[in-house]
Amino acid sequence: MRREPPPEGSNGVVSGHSDIAVALHYDGDSAPRVTAKGNDVDAREIIRLAEAHDIPLYPNAGLATALVQIPLGEEVPEELYRAVAEVIAFAYLVVGRTPDDFTAPTEGQDPGPLPALPASDPGE
């Protein structure tokens, strides 16, 4: 198993069943980094460590396959930001963490309209 800091320093683990796993760490200031990755036996060990340390597991074989190709300790490339943001949001939700400036509406309170998404260029 190849890893930098132990998976318990990670925010979440993306897995493809039990045959591939990638641990990610996001500090809120820079891009998420790959902190552990492995296949087969190593993947099962990463998943075991994640479960032992209550690190959320996000099953997505396609994303795990893409992330396992990133060198250990490197930042996630920009083209994977949206998919990795879903993993981080999921992990935060599971552990009850929210952004510092987030205020959840109280029960019965109208949260207001959702912010508009920026228009996308069909040529992108």
- Domain positions in the chain are 2-95
pLDDT given at position 69 = 95
Give the CATH superfamily of 2-95: secretion proteins EscU (3.40.1690.10)
The string of pLDDT tens digits covering residues 73-114 is 999 999 999 999 999 888 888 888 776 655 655 666 665 554
The string of pLDDT tens digits covering residues 2-26 is 444 445 457 788 888 779 999 999 8
CA–CA dist 7, 22 (Å, integer):
9
Closest CA to 17 of 40, 36, 34: 40
Q: What is the mean pLDDT of residues 56-64?
A: 92
Coil vs helix vs strand at 51 = helix
Predicted structure pTM score:
0.72
